[in-house]
Amino acid sequence: MIVIPIFEVKEMKADVAIVGAGPAGMSAALTAEKSGAEVILLDESFSLGGQLRQDTKWYTSLPNKYDEQYGVTLNEQLIHQLNQTNVTSLTTHTLIGSYLNGHMAVTNGERTIEIEAKKIILAPGAQEEAKIFPGWTLPGVMTASAAQSLINRERILPGKKAIMLGLNDFSIEIAKQLEACGVSIFAFVDDKDSNSIKFSHEEIEGLQHVPVYLNSTLESVTGRNGVEKVIISTPHQIEEVNADLVCISNGFSPILEPFEILGCDFTYNQELGGFMPKYNSHLQTSNSLCYVAGNAAGITSLGPTLLTGEIAAISVLEVLTFINAEEAKQKREELWEEVSQIESCFNENIVNARLTLMENTVEEIG
């Protein structure tokens, strides 16, 4: 991997520019570079990996080419592979604009670089949704991913007694990680009913001792210098709890700013996470220069995130004639089949929603 000192560069050229160096972006970069394309990989963070940098979950549903492993281990593996390539890495750089000639403007806050790329893969990931309630700005109220970053990357304990606001895969995983660090989990609180939640109290392996309040809301949080007391409204009573940490797990939504900057059209799909760029089975957007990969395409699990990075790169390589159309078609079909196999294990509705989205988008755009 090539790291370019920012003060030496005003303009850059590449076959493929990839925005976002999480698992989807790294997977795309490795796939594109392997076939001989010149690749620029940029990310606003100081290092590669996105959420994988602090993800200590053990993953079993990964693509066939990967062994079962922890998220942080997979991140190290991907970075090691990138270090053996000629991919140019621009960390601490953000896409801020698009020139009339289609080139990208990226900056590190001190200097702007104009990047001319034949094709662009956008893999900006997703952002965790907050919830607003009285006291939500107090220290000690944070998203579940923020708590994950503190314990796994910064080695900081965010609190001693926690309320998990939201019952889902992610909140359960973070609750387990917090407990492993010595944090007591008082309860899961979710405003949905049992018909909308696929987890029961008994199914939360390792956390059966934690109460689950459904049809319930967090009414308020109070404290002088941080969270001290949490008021929970349940169908039967008002619970007043002494706690110093509230972790909000309200789902994720695709990050859309890069697509707005580059003039991509959007659609709304509730099953896939809300608004997202329109794309076809090649993962090409309405801007013929741009392709999407990962969470921004409504992908919610790690395995398909990696696979869509490959699919986007394969599609780009085909257009740029690094690989032929027959090879690209066969590889895409294999990768989409693998995506469906993994996702159907979690939610068949997601697979159907994505197929509908792609079928309603013109197959060959631009």
pLDDT in the model for residue 216:
96
Task: List pLDDT tens digits, range 291-332.
Answer: 999 999 988 889 999 999 999 999 999 999 999 999 999 999
Alpha-carbon gap, residue 286 to 284, rounded angstroms: 7
- 123 and 6 inside one domain: yes
Three-state SS at 174: helix
Mean pLDDT (whole number) for 47-63: 92
pLDDT in the model for residue 271:
75
pLDDT in the model for residue 209:
86
48 pLDDT band, cuts 50/70/90, is very high
Examine the fold and report which residue of 193, 222, 248 is the final residue of a domain before the chain moves on.
Answer: 248
- 239 and 285 inside one domain: no
- 149 and 14 inside one domain: no
- 185 and 221 inside one domain: yes
204 pLDDT band, cuts 50/70/90, is low
Mean pLDDT score across all residues of the chain: 90
- 297 and 331 inside one domain: yes
343 pLDDT band, cuts 50/70/90, is confident
- 244 and 258 inside one domain: no
* Angle made by CA atoms 313, 32, 355, in degrees to the nearest 5: 10
- Cα dist from 61 to 64, 193, 198, 257, whole Å: 9, 28, 19, 30
236: CB partners within 8 A, 6+ apart: none
Q: Is the pLDDT assigned to residue 219 strictly greater than 70?
A: yes
Task: List pLDDT tens digits, range 170-203.
Answer: 999 999 999 999 999 999 999 988 777 665 444 5
Q: Is the pLDDT assigned to residue 3 strictly greater than 70?
A: no
Residue scoring higher pLDDT (207 or 154): 154
Where b means 16+ CB within 10 Å and e means fewer, 212-249 reads bbbebbbeebebeeebeebbbbeeeeebebebbbbbbb
Mean pLDDT (whole number) for 54-60: 91
- 92 and 120 inside one domain: yes
Please indicate, yes or no, if residue 101 is contained in any of the structural domains. Answer: yes
- 119 and 268 inside one domain: yes
Give the chain's radius of gyration (CA, Å).
Answer: 21
Q: Is the pLDDT assigned to residue 360 strictly greater than 90?
A: no
Q: Encoding tokens for residue 291?
A: 């392709």
Please indicate, yes or no, if residue 366 is contained in any of the structural domains. Answer: no
205 pLDDT band, cuts 50/70/90, is low
- 241 and 340 inside one domain: no
- 55 and 162 inside one domain: no
Please name the amino acid found at residue 128: E
Please indicate, yes or no, if residue 364 is contained in any of the structural domains. Answer: no
Q: CATH code at 143?
A: 3.50.50.60
pLDDT cut 90: percent of the chain above it: 74
Q: What is the dihedral of CA 1, 327, 302, 195, to 10 degrees?
A: 160
Q: Is the pLDDT assigned to residue 273 strictly greater than 90?
A: no
Tokens 């281990």, located at residue: 73
- In this structure, the strands spanning 39-42 and 88-90 are parallel
The count of structural domains within the chain is 2
Task: List pLDDT tens digits, range 84-134.
Answer: 999 999 999 999 999 988 899 999 998 999 999 999 999 999 988 889 999
Mean pLDDT (whole number) for 247-267: 94
- 122 and 268 inside one domain: yes
Examine the fold and report which residue of 219, 248, 277 is the final residue of a domain before the chain moves on.
Answer: 248
Q: Which of 6-10, 143-147, 208-212, 271-275 has the lowest mean pLDDT?
A: 6-10
**Residue/partner pairs of 101-109 with CB below 8 Å, 24 or more apart:** 102/289, 104/17, 104/19, 104/262, 106/42, 108/6
- 159 and 223 inside one domain: yes
pLDDT in the model for residue 366:
45
Please indicate, yes or no, if residue 6 is contained in any of the structural domains. Answer: yes
358 pLDDT band, cuts 50/70/90, is confident
Structural domain of 241: 130-248
Examine the fold and report which residue of 248, 271, 304 is the final residue of a domain before the chain moves on.
Answer: 248
pLDDT in the model for residue 246:
98
Mean pLDDT (whole number) for 141-151: 95
pLDDT in the model for residue 266:
94
269 pLDDT band, cuts 50/70/90, is confident
Please indicate, yes or no, if residue 187 is contained in any of the structural domains. Answer: yes
Please indicate, yes or no, if residue 168 is contained in any of the structural domains. Answer: yes
Mean pLDDT (whole number) for 334-346: 87
Alpha-carbon gap, residue 56 to 65, rounded angstroms: 20
- Cα dist from 196 to 169, 191, 193, 292, whole Å: 14, 10, 6, 30
pLDDT in the model for residue 344:
78
Please indicate, yes or no, if residue 365 is contained in any of the structural domains. Answer: no
364 pLDDT band, cuts 50/70/90, is very low
Alpha-carbon gap, residue 78 to 66, rounded angstroms: 10
